[in-house]
Structure 1
Amino acid sequence: MPGGRCFVICLLLVVVVGVCNGHDFISPPTTVKARENNTVLLPCYLNTLSNDEAYAVSIKWFKEHDLLADSANDSVVPPERHTLWQNGSLQIVSVKPMDTGEYTCEIERPEPWGAIRQRHAIEVLHAPSVEPFPPNGFLEVKLGEEARMSCKGGGVPYPIIKWYFQGEELKLLDHRELLKFTASDRLLAGKYSCEAFNGVGEPARTEISLNIIFPPEILTSRSWIHTAPGLRAQLECKISADPQATVTWLKGEIQVPLDNRVVSLVDGDKYTLLIRNVQRSDFGIYTCRANNELGQGEVQIQLSGVPNPGVFKKTGDKNLNAKTSYLLIWEVDSYTPIIEYNLWFRPYRPKSGLNKPGWTKLTIPTEHSLGPVFSKSYTIKGLKEKSIYEALLVSRNRYGWSKPSPILRFATAGAEVNEELMTTVQMITQDNMIPLDLSSSASSILSFKNYLLCLVSVFYNSLKYK
């Protein structure tokens, strides 16, 4: 008997497991994708093994956990647009997005089988939508801060999100809703847009405008301006700032007094200090200073009466056969007559490091000229054959010495040279500096001191606002 009972129980378990493994329903669980206003029929057909087998006691339908219909309870009325048919299927007409969800068919059967369940799902397809954040479509951050914007997608199926900046698609690693980055450059400001696409209807699109606020950034095209008494001078600086900056012109640390002769002008982002009928007292270093709530920026401009740096001119074929001499020709712009020139030259030694040859100075008198362009030629004699030299020039007028000219490299006949080597170069290294003789007047020393101060100031500001 114990063995027989065990056999019967095991047999019943096999039958029950077999029924639960797929012999209860004719149709498998399914997900129905339907467009809005279509009709959907969800099946719930019991797979009976024979006509003599017991029938279902009742059929119930649930959406998620809410009871929709019960064939054994007339008090449960199916919602509008829902119909429970005698064969157990549930019909929904004119489906809406709200009908999207999971549906469960539950069949109550007499003993010994009990209840069985089958799940279906409905996805009501509808066009995509997007909701931007910030909701007003405008985001403002400080330069260097993190910018965070997002597009919340909607629609069935859930849409793919693409991002664009100024109309160009951003190549991101995934289709993310949240876009975040460091606003490290003002060029990142502009219109960002996101597009939601799910294959149903037209894509949805919205825009977010990003504004990056920043402290003043100042540039000037001329940090040194040559002029003379009686002339007109314009000092200009270009300012970018958000919020808008308040701009002040100073000479030294004193604000420039404005009147009919000295006028401050504004044209868009260009700020100009116009000095009519320049006086000698106007010479000096001016500061264009801008302030807003995020910070301050400034740039310095020197107004001077000393000559412009000289420029060496090409001599063409005049030095082709010059073995031990070389003809130099230069021009200097100066509103005031040139008094004298200092011409410095030395052999060129590219690899000699700190042991480069010393400079030789020649003081060359000027010739009478009306200006403002002063020209001069001079032949350096006693040079070595087949050798390369470098030279530079400074010039003096009544207001002092000019800044050094760019270094000119030249060669006597027969020297091996290349075009790149012979290009004029600026004095940009300490090794190129020369002991300029500025002892001719106190004003000359002061002028050169102001020049050095201006160079340091301009270099500092170029690093500060780069």
Structure 2
Amino acid sequence: MKFVFLIATAASRYNKSSVVFHCFQNHAKVLWYRDTLQLDMTEWRITDVRGNRYTLRLRKVQKTDFGNYSCVADNGLGKSKRSIEVTGRPDVAVITSSKQSRSKNSYEMLWTVKSYSPIIEYKLLYRQDKTNKSNQEIQYKRPMRRWNDGWIELLLNPASTDQLEKSRTETIRDLDPGTKYEATVQSRNRYGWSEVSQSFFFTTSTKNEAHPGNSVLSDPELRDMSITAINNKAAPKTIQTPLLCIMAMVTYYLA
């Protein structure tokens, strides 16, 4: 059977109420599914066909609309299927802080995450890079849990905010000087946990650096006190490619 080539793209309309999918295929019958069930059209679930573009629009999205949405094309020679997940969970966090700490015993980590629902909890995991020979036991001053392979877990409760783009700064203390560390972040809202972020690597300094115009502060508790602001206004992008389909996650907020 000849393979039917299908290009599927998702356009996320961050208006807190609707989700739009676009599926492209020439000379084929296209059906829409949620999980394993074929979708029936209603007042809140509308399809449209313009040329080779097939569109599914979900209006006034509810929690019951969560699931994997599939576009299935059949031209009589074969079928092709592409899927997109609709979920209320947060997007994957993006760590944006510097890879080099100004302190030898602490590191200020900054990350951002998109979530229409308020973030309830962050999970920060960090450990010495496996290539480091030294892995000394350290007494930590805040609630944490020690995992296998040297991972240390910090559970953080953020302040509630209705902003789509949320940012968090957290200072990791009691680190070894001149040492490389690995860290990951997860976010949780009322719909569940996000995927784990990509591993981020940072290195502590061999000595404490002075701030310009100020005297040298040897106390990391004082030196690392700062306020960092993030302003990321990049709009959500439609994900597409001429040769293959990329599965995407669409997140929305329930009013």
Length-normalised TM-score, structure 1: 0.39
Answer whether contact 1:222 1:301 (CA < 8 A) is retained: yes
Instruction: Provide the residue aligned with 1:408 in structure 2.
Output: 200
1:117-165 residue CA offsets vs partner (Å, 9 max, x unmatched): xxxxxxxxxxxxxxxxxxxxxxxxx9xxxxxxxxxxxxxxxxxxxxxxx
- Corresponding pairs, count: 195
Structure showing the higher strand proportion among its residues: 1
Root-mean-square deviation (CA, aligned residues, Å) is 2.9
Q: Determine the C-alpha separation between the residues in 2 that align with 1:286 and 1:405.
A: 24
Distance 1:268 1:405 in 2: 39
Per-residue deviation, residues 52-75 of structure 1 (Å, max 9, x unmatched)? xxxxxxxxxxxxxxxxxxxxxxxx
| 1:363 maps onto 2:155 in alignment | yes
> Counterparts of 2:46 and 2:104 in 1: how far apart (Å)?
57
1:301–1:393 distance in 2 versus 1, CA, 3 Å: same
Higher helix share: 1
Counterpart residue number, 2:18: 232
Match of 1:59 in 2: none
SS in 2 for 1:336: coil
The Cα shift of 1:227 comes to 7.0
* 1:139-154 superposed matches below 5 A: none
C-alpha contact 1:310 1:330 (8 A) present in aligned 2: yes
Q: Give unpaired runs (5+ residues) of structure 2.
A: 134-147, 208-245, 248-255
State the Cα distance separating 1:313 from its structure 2 match: 1.5
Q: Which runs of 5+ in 1 are unaligned?
A: 1-141, 143-213, 416-456, 459-466
Whether 2:164 is the aligned partner of 1:372: answer yes
Deviations 1:255-311 (A, max 9, x none): 111122111123443322111111110011111111111111101110000011111
Alignment of 1:50-449 (within 5 A): 215-222=3-10, 231-239=17-25, 241=26, 244-315=27-98, 319-320=101-102, 322-350=103-131, 357-414=149-206
- Provide the C-alpha distance between the structure 1 equivalents of 2:129 and 2:36, rounded to a whole number of angstroms: 43
Structure possessing the higher relative contact order (Cα contacts under 8 Å, 6 or more residues apart):
2
Structure 1: distance between partners of 2:79 and 2:119: 40
For 2:177, what is the secondary structure of its paired residue? coil
Residue 267 and residue 388 in structure 1: after superposition, are their counterparts in 2 closer, same or farther (change >3 A)?
Answer: farther
- Which amino acid is 2:92 matched to? P
Distance between the aligned counterparts of 1:397 and 1:226, measured in 2? 20
Runs of 4 or more off by more than 6 Å in structure 1?
A: 225-228
> Are the equivalent residues in 2 in contact too, given 1:226–1:334 (CA < 8 A)?
no
Distance 1:216 1:325 in 2: 55
Residue of structure 2 in register with 1:96 after alignment: none
Question: Cα distance 1:409–1:226, how it changes in 2: closer, same or farther (>3 A)?
Answer: farther
Distance 2:172 2:193 in 1: 22
Give the aligned residue type for 1:218: L
SS in 2 for 1:216: coil
Partner of 1:217, secondary structure, is coil
The DSSP-based 3-state class of the residue aligned with 2:205 is coil
Q: TM-score, normalised by structure 2?
A: 0.68
Q: What CA distance in whole angstroms lies between the structure 2 residues aligned with 1:250 and 1:335? A: 25
